[in-house]
Chains A and B, each alone.
Chain A
Amino acid sequence: MKDEVASRKERAENLKGMGCSRKRVEDARFTQGKGNYVDDLKLDGMLFGDFVRSPYAHARITRIDTAAALEVPGVLAVLTAKDLEPLGLHWMPTLAGDKQMVLADGKVLFQGQEVAFVVAEDRYAAADGIEAVEVEYEELPVLVDPFEALTSDVVLREDTVDANGNPVDGAHGPRKHHNHIFTWEAGDKDPTAEVLANAEVVAEETMYYHRTHPCPLETCGCVASMDKVNGKLTLWGTFQAPHAIRTVVSLISGIEEHNIRVISPDIGGGFGNKVGAYPGYVCSVVASIVTGKPVKWIEDRMDNLMTTAFARDYWMKGRISATKDGKITGLHCHVTADHGGFDACADPTKFPAGFMNICTGSYDIPTAYLQVDGAYTNKAPGGVSYRCSFRVTEAVYFIERMIEVLAIELNMDAAELRRINFIKKEQFPYQAALGWEYDSGDYHTAWEKALKAVDYDGLRAEQAQRVEDFKAGKTRKLMGVGLSFFTEIVGAGPVKNCDILGLGMFDSCEIRIHPTGSAIARLGTISQGQGHATTFAQILASEIGLPADSITIEEGDTDTAPYGLGTYGSRSTPVAGAATAMAGRKIRAKAQMIAAYLMEVHDDDVEFDVDRFVVKGAPEKFKTMKEIAFAAYNQAIPGIEPGLEAVSYYDPPNMTYPFGAYVCVMDIDVDTGVTDIRRFYALDDCGTRINPMIIEGQVHGGLTEALAVALGQEIAYDDMGNVKTGTLMDFFLPTAWEVPNYETDYTVTPSPHHPIGAKGVGESPHVGGVPCFSNAVHDAFRAFGLRHTNMPHDHWRIWKTANELGLHG
C-alpha cells in the first residue's frame, strides 16, 4: 500500500498539475528576444498610419486641408471624418453604450483627439505628412472640472440636446443636464438616510481618486490587412478581447464575421488599456480597404497616455455611521465620475459605474446607498479598469479610507475597528446591502494571521515612541502603519446580468487529445503576461491526467479559438479556467467509457486515479490516459464515436470574491516628503492556488502598480485642458530603485461554486495595495490631526501636508 501511495505522488508530480510552481513555457522565446508582438509584424507592402491630433481640448474645426500632405513623398492617403462619413464610420459605438468620434467630426473634445489619419510608406513619411496637414481651429470654452461641467451652459456634445437645447435621454436613462451622462444607484436611499440621521457617530469625507493610466510597457497598436481577392480581413492587434473586437468590427464595418480574423499575438502588458476599441483600429481597417495594402498603426507613448484609456477620476463623497463602540450601521456614497469627452468605459452594459457597489467592502454593513453621476468634460475618454475588476479599485479605496476616518472619529484603533465589523465566516454566502452575494471568505483568520506576522502591537508601540521622539526634536521622520483589508469581485460574469454590447460574459475552452496522448486546448481569453500557456495546462493536467508539458495552450486567434469575452477584470481563471476544467471533465467522462470497454468492465466499475482509470478495488488493473487516448483513435468501440475532444462554454453562476489583508510600514521624512517603505506584507486568499510562483509574481507586480498610483502616478490637466503628464518624464512608473521587497502570504478559502475553487488573483494586489500605501501616509500624520488628503502622495504633496500641519516649525 505504501508503494502505491508513493508512486501515486510521483505520478502526480510528473503531471505538473495544479498547485505546483511550474516554470513558464512562455519564457524561452521572451528571454531570447523571440516574442511576437504586433509591432514585430512585417507584411509585404505594409504601410504605416498615424494621426494628426488636436492641440486643443475644445475647439471647432473650421478647415482641414490635406493637399500639401498628399504631396509629401511616401504619403499615400489622408483620411478625415468626411471620408469616413459615407461609410458610417466617422463615429463608432463605445463599450459603454455611448458613441465616440473616430476622426473629429466638426469639433474636438479633448487634447490629442484624432483629427486625420495619414497613411504612408513608413513612419517617417507619415510623420512628415502629419506636419503638412493644415487644420484651423476655433477655440471653445474648456471644461476640465466635472462639477463645473454639470452646471455650465457650454454644451460639450451636440447629441445630448434636442432642437430646443433640452437634454435628451442617454444610454442609461434621463440626463439631469446636457453634460450629464447617467445616474446609477444601488441600495436603499431613504432607510440609509434614516440610519445616518439617527446614528450615534457619523464620519464624513470627500475624496478624489485621481485620473491615471494603465500604461503597459507596450502601447496599443494593430495591423489591418484586407485581402481583396477573397474578401477576408485580418486584424492583428493588442486586443485583450479579440472575439469581442471581431464582433465590433463586423457590426460597424458590415463585413460578415466569418470574413474577419482577429489575432492577438504576444501582448506586452494590458492592465485594462487594451480592452476597448480605438480610432486607430477603425482607421487602419479603412486605410487597408482603401489602399489594398496592409496598414500598421502603433501608438507612441504620448498618444497612449493622452488618448487611450485613462482610469479612475472619481470624486467620492462618503458618510459612514456607527455605534459609539464601533459597530457600523450605515454607509452612503455619492460619486461624480469624470468620463471625458465620450463615455468609453469597458464595463458590463448594466453597470455604467462598474461594480462600484462593492463599496461596502469586507464589512457587515446592514444599510447602504450608492449613487453615481457621470459627467462629460474636455478630457480623454476611457474609464477603464486599470488592473482591477470594473471600478473595484475605487470602491475598495473608498471604504478603506472611510474606515480609517471613522476610526479617527471614534478614537479607535483601525485594525480593531475592521475586526469587529468583518463579515463572519458563518455568514457566507453573504448578501451585501448593495446587491452582491459574496461566495466565501474567512476574514478574521486572514486578519489575525497578518497582524501577527507583522507584530502589529509592536509596530504601534514603535510608532508611539517615534511620535514622542519627533515631538522632542530627536527625529524628523514619522512612521506610518498602513492597513487595508479588501474584498474583490471578479470573474464577470453570469450572463444573466453581465454582458458587453449584448455579448454574454461567458468564456470557453476547446480540447483535442492527440492519439499519442498529448493535447491542444484553445481558449477565448488572451494572456498579457499572466502565463496562461503555463497555468491552464496545469488545470488540464490535473483534470485529464496528461502531463502539462504535453499540453499546448492556444489563445487569441478568432479563426481557431472558441468564442470568449477575453482577459480583464481577473476573469480568466474564474471563467475560462472553469471552462477548462469542465471541458477536461467531459474528456474524462468519455475516457472512462473507453477504459471500461478496454478492461471489459462496467463504466461504474472504474475510477479516475491521477493519470489513469483503474478498476475499483484492483489498482493493478488500469489503463493510462495515454493508452486511452490511443484507443480513442484506433479502436472501433460500440456506441462511442472515435476521437477524444470536448468543448465547454462556461457561464459562471456567480462572481468570485478574492480577499486579502495588507500591511505597509513606511517612514516619512517630514522635511522632504520622501517616503521609505520599510516593509510590505501581503496576504492573499484567491481560493485554490494553481501556480504559487505565478501568484507571487502577480502580487509583486500588482503591488508595484499600486505603489505607483498611490505615491505619484497621475494624468493631470491644466485649466486649458492641456495634459501635463504626457511622457514618462512626468508620468510616474517606479523603477527597481523605488520598489521594496514584498513579503507574500496566503490563506485558502475555495470558491464554492467554481469547479476547481479558484478565484483569480491578478488584480487583488492593486485593489488592496492602493489604499494600503495611502493609509500608511495618512497614518503617519494621524497623531498630528490629518484626516484625509488626496492621492497621489508624491514628495511635494506630502511636504505640503506636513507644512499645513505646522510640522516645519
Chain B
Amino acid sequence: MSQKQHYKITVNGKEEEFLAEPRELLIYTLRERLNVTGPHIGCETSHCGACTVTIDGKSVKSCTMFVAQADGKDITTIEGIGSPDALHPLQEAFKEHHGLQCGYCTPGMITRATKLLEENPTPTEEEIRFGMAGNICRCTGYQNIVKSIQAAAAEMNAAKEAAE
C-alpha cells in the first residue's frame, strides 16, 4: 500500500484524471479504472503483447508500465482505432482474411500492426513476422495474420495513392 497520487492521461482522445497508487499497472488503470477493456492480459511479463497500446506514437506493453510512468501521456487503444461505421483497414483485413479465432490477442495485434505499418508502409513478409514477434497468438498460427497485414498495407497504400 502506498499513498494515492494524482494522474492525468489521455485515452483515445479523452482526458482522464484520477487518484491512484503509483504501483498500479497501466493495464489495470485502463481496464478496471477506465473500463477500456479492449487491451487484454495474457502474461503480465511483457511476453505476449495482448496488452499492447500506443503511447506517444510507440507500441507499449501496458502490463509492465506503472500508471505513474504514463502520467501526462497520450494513449491509444484498440477502441481508438476505427469505429463501427468506419473500421480501420487492418480491422477489415483481419475479418476478411480470418486473422483471428478466439480474438483474445486481436486488439493487441491490430494495435501493434497500426504502428508497424506507420513505421514501414510496405513491409515484406519477413519484416511483418519480425515486427509482430512481440505479439503472441495461440490460435491462428500467424499465417492469416501476416496475410491480413499484407492486405491492409496494400489497401492503405492504394488509398494513399488515390488521394495524391
Report which A residues bind B (CB closer than 8 A). 23-24, 26-35, 37, 39-40, 42, 72-73, 122-124, 128, 215-219, 266-269, 271, 300-301, 528-531, 693-694, 696-697, 699-705, 727-729, 733, 735-737, 739, 741-742
Query: In the assembly, what is the distance between CA of A267 and CA of B103, in Å?
Result: 9
**Does the CB pair A217–B48 fall under 8 Å?**
yes
**Does the CB pair B138–A128 fall under 8 Å?**
no
Q: Mark B72-103, 1 if CB is under 8 A from A, else 0.
A: 00000111001010010001001110101111
Which residues of B lie under 8 Å from residue A739 when comparing CB positions?
129, 141-143
Which residues of B lie under 8 Å from residue A32 when comparing CB positions?
38, 78-79, 82, 84, 87, 91
Please give me the 3 A-B residue pairs with the lowest Cβ-Cβ distance, nearest first.
A33-B38, A30-B103, A529-B102
Closest chain-B Cβ to A118's Cβ sits at a distance in Å of: 14
Which residues of A lie under 8 Å from residue B110 when comparing CB positions?
31
Q: Looking across the interface, which residue of chain A has its beta carbon closest to that of B38?
A: A33
**Does the CB pair B103–A268 fall under 8 Å?**
yes
**Does the CB pair A728–B37 fall under 8 Å?**
no
Is B6 part of the contact surface with A, judged by Cβ < 8 Å? Answer: no
**Does the CB pair A37–B101 fall under 8 Å?**
no
**Does the CB pair B98–A737 fall under 8 Å?**
no
Closest chain-A Cβ to B28's Cβ sits at a distance in Å of: 7
Closest chain-A Cβ to B8's Cβ sits at a distance in Å of: 21
Q: Mark B30-57, 1 if CB is under 8 A from A, else 0.
A: 0110010111111111011010000000
Q: Looking across the interface, which residue of chain A has its beta carbon closest to that of B42?
A: A217
**Does the CB pair A736–B138 fall under 8 Å?**
no
Query: In the assembly, what is the distance between CA of A705 and CA of B142, in Å?
Result: 11
Using known A-B contacts A217-B48, A700-B140, determine if residue A24 contacts B98 with beta carbons closer than 8 Å. Answer: yes
Is B144 part of the contact surface with A, judged by Cβ < 8 Å? Answer: yes
Q: Looking across the interface, which residue of chain B has its beta carbon closest to that of A40?
A: B37
Is B23 part of the contact surface with A, judged by Cβ < 8 Å? Answer: yes
Which residues of A lie under 8 Å from residue B43 when comparing CB positions?
301, 727-728
Query: In the assembly, what is the distance between CA of A358 and CA of B157, in Å?
Result: 52
Which residues of B lie under 8 Å from residue A269 when comparing CB positions?
101-102, 104, 138-139
**Does the CB pair A733–B141 fall under 8 Å?**
no
**Does the CB pair A736–B47 fall under 8 Å?**
no
Closest chain-B Cβ to A274's Cβ sits at a distance in Å of: 11
Q: Which of A33, A268, A529, A700 contacts B78 (CB 8 A)?
A: A33
**Does the CB pair A217–B130 fall under 8 Å?**
no
Query: In the assembly, what is the distance between CA of A37 and CA of B39, in Å?
Result: 11
Q: Which of A31, A124, A300 contacts B23 (CB 8 A)?
A: A124
Which has the most chain B C-beta neighbours within 10 Å: A128, A268, A739? A268
Using known A-B contacts A35-B103, A217-B48, A697-B98, determine if residue A733 contacts B24 with beta carbons closer than 8 Å. Answer: no
Using known A-B contacts A701-B140, A728-B45, determine if residue A27 contacts B100 with beta carbons closer than 8 Å. Answer: yes
Is B154 part of the contact surface with A, judged by Cβ < 8 Å? Answer: no
Q: Which of B48, B91, B134, B141 contacts A700 (CB 8 A)?
A: B141
**Does the CB pair A33–B143 fall under 8 Å?**
no
**Does the CB pair A31–B140 fall under 8 Å?**
no
Which residues of A lie under 8 Å from residue B141 when comparing CB positions?
697, 699-704, 739, 742
Q: Which of B31, B40, B44, B103 contacts A27 (CB 8 A)?
A: B103
Which residues of A lie under 8 Å from residue B146 when comparing CB positions?
736
**Does the CB pair B45–A735 fall under 8 Å?**
no
Which residues of B lie under 8 Å from residue A704 when comparing CB positions?
140-142
Which residues of B lie under 8 Å from residue A736 when comparing CB positions?
128-130, 132-133, 135, 137, 142, 145-146
Closest chain-A Cβ to B151's Cβ sits at a distance in Å of: 13
Closest chain-A Cβ to B94's Cβ sits at a distance in Å of: 5
Query: In the assembly, what is the distance between CA of A657 and CA of B71, in Å?
Result: 57
**Does the CB pair B140–A528 fall under 8 Å?**
no
**Does the CB pair B42–A218 fall under 8 Å?**
yes
Using known A-B contacts A42-B32, A729-B47, determine if residue A31 contacts B100 with beta carbons closer than 8 Å. Answer: yes
**Does the CB pair A301–B100 fall under 8 Å?**
no
Query: In the assembly, what is the distance between CA of A728 and CA of B44, in Å?
Result: 10
Which residues of B lie under 8 Å from residue A696 when comparing CB positions?
98
Using known A-B contacts A40-B37, A217-B138, determine if residue A301 contacts B143 with beta carbons closer than 8 Å. Answer: no
Which residues of B lie under 8 Å from residue A729 when comparing CB positions?
45, 47
Using known A-B contacts A23-B96, A216-B138, determine if residue A697 contacts B48 with beta carbons closer than 8 Å. Answer: no
The 12 sampled A-B contact pairs (Cβ below 8 Å) are A29-B103, A33-B38, A40-B37, A124-B23, A529-B104, A529-B139, A697-B144, A701-B139, A704-B140, A704-B141, A727-B45, A728-B136
Using known A-B contacts A216-B138, A268-B40, A701-B141, determine if residue A33 contacts B107 with beta carbons closer than 8 Å. Answer: yes
Is B114 part of the contact surface with A, judged by Cβ < 8 Å? Answer: no
**Does the CB pair A28–B142 fall under 8 Å?**
no
Closest chain-B Cβ to A718's Cβ sits at a distance in Å of: 21
Closest chain-A Cβ to B91's Cβ sits at a distance in Å of: 4
Query: In the assembly, what is the distance between CA of A266 and CA of B107, in Å?
Result: 14
Using known A-B contacts A32-B82, A268-B102, A727-B47, determine if residue A37 contacts B40 with beta carbons closer than 8 Å. Answer: yes
Which residues of B lie under 8 Å from residue A215 when comparing CB positions?
138
Which residues of B lie under 8 Å from residue A26 when comparing CB positions?
103
Query: In the assembly, what is the distance between CA of A729 and CA of B47, in Å?
Result: 7
Is B11 part of the contact surface with A, judged by Cβ < 8 Å? Answer: no
**Does the CB pair A301–B98 fall under 8 Å?**
no
Is B1 part of the contact surface with A, judged by Cβ < 8 Å? Answer: yes
Query: In the assembly, what is the distance between CA of A73 and CA of B21, in Å?
Result: 14
Which residues of A lie under 8 Å from residue B144 when comparing CB positions?
697, 700
Is B106 part of the contact surface with A, judged by Cβ < 8 Å? Answer: yes
Further contacts, 12 of them, CB under 8 A, given A31-B95, A268-B102: A32-B87, A32-B91, A33-B39, A40-B31, A216-B102, A217-B105, A217-B139, A269-B102, A697-B139, A697-B141, A704-B140, A737-B130
Query: In the assembly, what is the distance between CA of A399 and CA of B42, in Å?
Result: 35
Query: In the assembly, what is the distance between CA of A37 and CA of B48, in Å?
Result: 17
Q: Looking across the interface, which residue of chain B has its beta carbon closest to that of A27?
A: B95
Q: Looking across the interface, which residue of chain B has its beta carbon closest to that of A215?
A: B138
Which residues of B lie under 8 Å from residue A300 when comparing CB positions?
44
Which residues of A lie under 8 Å from residue B138 when comparing CB positions?
215-217, 269, 271, 701, 705, 733
**Does the CB pair B104–A268 fall under 8 Å?**
yes
Query: In the assembly, what is the distance between CA of A26 and CA of B91, in Å?
Result: 13
Query: In the assembly, what is the distance between CA of A728 and CA of B42, in Å?
Result: 10
Which residues of B lie under 8 Å from residue A271 when comparing CB positions?
138
Using known A-B contacts A24-B95, A128-B1, determine if residue A737 contacts B107 with beta carbons closer than 8 Å. Answer: no
Using known A-B contacts A27-B95, A33-B78, A123-B28, determine if residue A217 contacts B143 with beta carbons closer than 8 Å. Answer: no
Closest chain-B Cβ to A734's Cβ sits at a distance in Å of: 8
Which has the most chain A C-beta neighbours within 10 Å: B42, B95, B141? B141
Query: In the assembly, what is the distance between CA of A39 and CA of B30, in Å?
Result: 13
Which residues of A lie under 8 Å from residue B77 when comparing CB positions?
33
Query: In the assembly, what is the distance between CA of A63 and CA of B74, in Å?
Result: 49
Closest chain-B Cβ to A761's Cβ sits at a distance in Å of: 13
Query: In the assembly, what is the distance between CA of A218 and CA of B102, in Å?
Result: 9
**Does the CB pair A30–B106 fall under 8 Å?**
yes
**Does the CB pair B133–A217 fall under 8 Å?**
no
Which residues of B lie under 8 Å from residue A694 when comparing CB positions?
98
Which residues of B lie under 8 Å from residue A727 when comparing CB positions?
43, 45, 47
Closest chain-A Cβ to B50's Cβ sits at a distance in Å of: 6
Q: Mark B100-134, 1 if CB is under 8 A from A, else 0.
A: 11111111001000000000000000001110111
**Does the CB pair A528–B102 fall under 8 Å?**
yes
Using known A-B contacts A31-B95, A31-B110, A729-B47, determine if residue A42 contacts B100 with beta carbons closer than 8 Å. Answer: no
Which residues of B lie under 8 Å from residue A123 when comparing CB positions?
28
Which has the most chain A C-beta neighbours within 10 Å: B31, B40, B77, B146? B40
Query: In the assembly, what is the distance between CA of A301 and CA of B40, in Å?
Result: 13
Query: In the assembly, what is the distance between CA of A781 and CA of B41, in Å?
Result: 41
Closest chain-A Cβ to B141's Cβ sits at a distance in Å of: 3
Query: In the assembly, what is the distance between CA of A27 and CA of B44, in Å?
Result: 25
Query: In the assembly, what is the distance between CA of A317 and CA of B1, in Å?
Result: 55
Which residues of A lie under 8 Å from residue B42 when comparing CB positions?
217-219, 301, 728
Q: Which of B21, B44, B87, B134 contacts A31 (CB 8 A)?
A: B87
Query: In the assembly, what is the distance between CA of A73 and CA of B3, in Å?
Result: 13
**Does the CB pair A266–B128 fall under 8 Å?**
no
Closest chain-B Cβ to A308's Cβ sits at a distance in Å of: 15
**Does the CB pair A124–B21 fall under 8 Å?**
yes
Query: In the assembly, what is the distance between CA of A736 and CA of B135, in Å?
Result: 8
**Does the CB pair A728–B104 fall under 8 Å?**
no
